[in-house]
Amino acid sequence: MNSNRLKTVVLQINAVLFLALVLPASAFSSGPIQSHKSILDAARNHAKNNATGYSVPPTVTANRLDSRLRLPECSQPLETFSPPAGRKLGRSTVGVRCSGSKPWSLYVPVMVSLVMDVIVAAHNLARGTVLSSSHLMLEKKDVARLRGSFFKQPAEAIGMVLKRNLQQGQVLHSQHTVTQKTVKKGSKVIILAHSNKIEVRMPGKALSNGATGERIKVRNIHSKKEIEATVVSPGVVRVAL
């Protein structure tokens, strides 16, 4: 026997010994066996039902089972379960078990994909770019393979400032951006005080930086009183009367 054939035989023997060690004796049943298709279908259905709450349905694939695996046919419907700390998206495993007269249990590797539109760079973008609609486009991606949070709509990113260079087609993540400060500390601002019927404009001074929608402290130039106001646009803040 040549060395290559000897290595092949040794690998086959080792694989059989490994299965014998990790699986119960029932895994090699000589009687009626549970079809691999039924096990894989149960695992796929469990993973799909577990990945709910998304705007598009996920796609689930399950790895083929070892052809030598022969589990006794279950006398009851198969049960499925998620392992501790199991993931809803991406690579995971699903437990499939039989609680019938000849019980068994095993884990099936699955891949849960979720393809949806996400924001990517329309062309190469430099650090410091204030993002506009011309810088962004939608592209379908498997979000199960993406790390960190990402933008789903252009409106979520427009006005943000890039913290790093981006290549064309690169997914835009929240860690790539910072909110543009529309009011700078020490700058003059217009304080809009409003009620249901009237609106009053007063000169003020910003006591901190602020982006649109953020609350900052400002000083009324006339009264010298410090108040909290919401930034509504560059150089303009609003308070309620």
Q: Are strands 236-240 and 226-233 parallel, antiparallel or unpaired?
A: antiparallel
Same structural domain for residues 134 and 104? no
Q: Of the candidates 178, 175, 194, 197, which has an alpha carbon nearest to the alpha carbon of residue 232?
A: 194
The tens digit of pLDDT for each residue in 34-71 reads 999 999 999 999 999 988 888 888 999 998 899 889 99
In a domain, 128, yes or no: yes
Q: Which residues pair with 194 in a beta bridge?
A: 199, 240
CATH code, domain carrying 205: 2.30.30.760
Reported as a pLDDT band with limits 50, 70 and 90, residue 121 is: very high
pLDDT, residue 210, reads 85
98, 77 contact by CB (below 8 A):
no
Same structural domain for residues 158 and 217? no
Residue after which a domain boundary falls, among 158, 179, 200: 179
Percent of the chain with pLDDT over 70: 88
pLDDT, residue 30, reads 60
In a domain, 167, yes or no: yes
Cα–Cα distance measured from residue 179 to residue 197, given in angstroms and rounded to the nearest whole number: 33
The tens digit of pLDDT for each residue in 77-111 reads 999 999 887 788 899 999 999 999 999 999 999 99
Residue 96's domain comprises: 24-113
**Is 29's pLDDT higher than 70?**
no
The tens digit of pLDDT for each residue in 137-169 reads 999 999 988 888 899 998 888 888 899 999 999
Residue after which a domain boundary falls, among 132, 149, 179: 179
Cα–Cα distance measured from residue 93 to residue 86, given in angstroms and rounded to the nearest whole number: 7
In a domain, 8, yes or no: no
Number of domains in the chain: 3
Same structural domain for residues 194 and 209? yes
Percent of the chain with pLDDT over 90: 53
Reported as a pLDDT band with limits 50, 70 and 90, residue 20 is: very low
Reported as a pLDDT band with limits 50, 70 and 90, residue 23 is: low
Same structural domain for residues 101 and 148? no
More confident: 114 or 14: 114
Same structural domain for residues 142 and 212? no
In a domain, 16, yes or no: no
Residue after which a domain boundary falls, among 67, 93, 113: 113
In a domain, 7, yes or no: no
Same structural domain for residues 63 and 101? yes
